[in-house]
């Protein structure tokens, strides 16, 4: 299972995530970052790292709850992931080939 929490696992590098390949509403990222800063300090690399953490968290939640769909359009196949919680839904999507390329770069 993919976990984004760091309570009992070694840190997972998010460098394999190319946030420019994902589609989501910018407001969803801003809301998540605002909530993140309520319990975390600002770090120098946040501009790059926080969008990656946001994406990884949304992937984890969607996978854990089975909220994954594949969609076919004129560009190809995309993976659509939905993080649903307390009447809120955050949707992200990525081209399946881009996702596969990123997964090949995971360093454990």
How far apart, in whole angstroms, are the C-alpha atoms of residue 63 and residue 83? Answer: 9
How far apart, in whole angstroms, are the C-alpha atoms of residue 90 and residue 12? Answer: 22
Residue 56: predicted pLDDT = 94
Residue 5: predicted pLDDT = 58
Residues with Cβ within 8 Å of 70's Cβ and at least 6 positions away in sequence, in order, are 77, 78, 79, 80, 96
Confidence band, pLDDT 50/70/90 cuts, at residue 84: very high
Q: What are the pLDDT digits (tens) for 14-56?
A: 999 999 999 999 999 999 999 999 998 999 999 999 999 999 9
User: What is the distance, to the nearest Å, from the Cα of residue 80 to the centroid of all Cα atoms in its chain?
Assistant: 11
Q: What is the model's pTM?
A: 0.85
The full set of domain ranges for the chain reads 19-103
Q: Mean pLDDT over residues 69-86, rounded?
A: 94
């Amino acid at each position: 299972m993919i976990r984004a929490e760091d309570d009992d696992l070694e840190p997972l590098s998010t460098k394999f995530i190319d946030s420019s390949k994902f589609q989501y509403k910018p407001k969803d990222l801003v809301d998540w970052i605002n909530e993140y800063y309520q319990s975390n300090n600002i770090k120098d690399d946040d501009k790059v790292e926080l969008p990656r953490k946001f994406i990884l968290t949304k992937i984890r939640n969607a996978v854990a709850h089975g909220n994954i769909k594949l969609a076919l359009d004129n560009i190809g196949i995309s993976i659509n992931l939905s993080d649903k919680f307390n009447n809120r839904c955050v949707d992200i999507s990525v081209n399946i080939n881009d996702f596969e390329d990123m997964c090949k770069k995971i360093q454990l």
